[in-house]
Amino acid sequence: MTKKKAGAQSAQADTPPPTSSLIICRNKHWRYISSFHGPWLQLPPEILDSLAHQNYTMPAPRLVDPAVFYDVVKIRKAVDEAAQDSVRASTGISNTAQSGRMDYFGASGGPASLLSKERIFKIRQKA
């Protein structure tokens, strides 16, 4: 019996641990995001919403449960919003500066308005 255990332990020691194809650095939520990793991340949100609606209007049995599909769409929108917020916090520029304001002559409206440290902290906390 001890020989079997020793053989099993040496076999486990020889195999390297499985590596993840998804590497997310500096993100405390990587284990949650990696569970939703898939080809739906490359689709624009409008197409995802359209596919969810088409799936909902299909006759039964549907390919994907509509509730699950709409939840995936909501998650995707939340992930996109969090990514935009984290970029805003890292650059320190407000939304109004990113929107490309134009003055009367068509030129941009001066220097970008910077966010305060407190506002940056709140945006990072929200993301």
Determine, yes or no, domain membership for 120: yes
What per-residue confidence (pLDDT) applies to 93?
66
Residue 40 C-beta-side C-alpha neighbours within 13 Å: 23
Structure tokens at 33: 């995001």
Q: Which of 19-28, 66-75, 100-109 is predicted with the least confidence, judged by mean pLDDT?
A: 19-28
**Residue 124 carries which side chain, given as an amino acid letter?**
R
Determine, yes or no, domain membership for 117: yes
Cα–Cα–Cα angle for 81, 87, 88, nearest 5°?
90
Counted domains in the chain:
1
Q: Which pTM value belongs to this model?
A: 0.49
Q: Which of 114, 1, 74, 33 is closest to 9 using CA atoms?
A: 1
Domain housing 34: 29-100+112-126
